[in-house]
């Protein structure tokens, strides 16, 4: 039964592997037996992670990739298959956020967030889809967010892009299923990563976010990695076109008010 959750003999490309959730996913995939291509816009960080995976006697390499470049994204994933002999799964974690009210957003900021979060993820979905559908097997996991479902002031563009990722995943799942490829998304809650460092620096903001979920705390990147490994594994062989929320119960209790005598 444990073999269903393993990735032995498989090759996984992890985009965003240089830090945060992507790094945790790369390490988790290696621990489950996969050979890992660590790709990141910061190639030196991707190589650092790959070096540490190799020190644990797992096959890995690091390279530079900016997902907003469609041709480069295709070339990078083609290179993974050529270099490691196959490609079984692709995970894409990068996104950016500019937290601003709608009336203060600049056109440049709008373009920047949409370019990375929507265009970049589409480029990955397309490039991975071309390879995996041609071979008739594989799994793709993109990263959405709780912001695909619930919002707050200052999150208009980010939330819109995270909802867009969900719809791209659903469409790709419908288009790729007949050719043996599953496509899913992970929807994190609040996770301690470089992207959320400005929030952690503000104690009131950090504490307020922790209080919004049932577990009353932030997640570590590793807590996003293992659900991702599950979606890549044979244990999730009948799961496609869905989003797996890993949010500590945020969506379950969002906006909760406990009447007197009804709280825990």
> Which residue in 105, 158, 206, 238 is the catalytic one?
158
Cβ neighbour number for residue 242 with a 10 Å cutoff = 17
DSSP assignment letter at 4: G
**Distance separating alpha carbons of residues 175 and 212, to the nearest angstrom:** 36
**Distance separating alpha carbons of residues 264 and 221, to the nearest angstrom:** 28
**Distance separating alpha carbons of residues 201 and 189, to the nearest angstrom:** 18
Q: Is 186 helix (H, G, I), strand (E, B) or coil?
A: strand
Task: Find tokens 């659900």 and name the residue.
Answer: 227
Here the tokens at position 50 are 């790959």
206 included as an active-site residue? no
List the catalytic residues: 158
């Amino acid at each position: 039964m444990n073999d269903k959750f393993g990735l032995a003999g498989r090759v996984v490309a992890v985009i965003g592997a240089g830090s945060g959730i992507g790094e945790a996913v790369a390490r988790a995939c290696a621990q489950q037996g996969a050979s890992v291509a660590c790709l990141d816009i910061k190639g030196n960080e991707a190589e650092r992670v790959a070096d540490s995976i190799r020190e644990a006697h797992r096959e890995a390499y690091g390279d530079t990739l900016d997902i907003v470049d469609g041709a480069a994204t295709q070339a990078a994933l083609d290179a993974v298959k050529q270099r490691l002999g196959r490609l079984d799964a692709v995970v894409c974690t990068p996104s950016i956020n500019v937290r601003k009210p709608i009336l203060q957003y600049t056109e440049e900021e709008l373009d920047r967030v949409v370019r990375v979060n929507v265009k970049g993820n589409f480029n990955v979905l397309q490039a991975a889809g071309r390879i995996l559908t041609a071979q008739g097997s594989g799994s793709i996991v993109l990263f959405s967010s709780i912001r695909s479902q619930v919002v707050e002031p200052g999150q208009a563009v980010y939330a819109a892009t995270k909802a867009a990722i969900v719809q791209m995943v659903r469409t790709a799942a419908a288009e790729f299923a007949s050719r043996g490829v599953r496509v899913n998304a992970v929807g994190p809650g609040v996770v301690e990563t470089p992207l959320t460092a400005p929030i952690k620096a503000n104690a009131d903001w950090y504490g307020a976010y922790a209080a919004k979920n049932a577990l009353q705390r932030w997640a570590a990147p590793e807590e996003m990695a293992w659900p991702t490994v599950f979606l890549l594994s044979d244990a999730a062989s009948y799961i496609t076109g869905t989003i797996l929320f890993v949010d500590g119960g945020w969506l379950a209790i969002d906006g909760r008010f406990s009447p007197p005598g009804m709280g825990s």
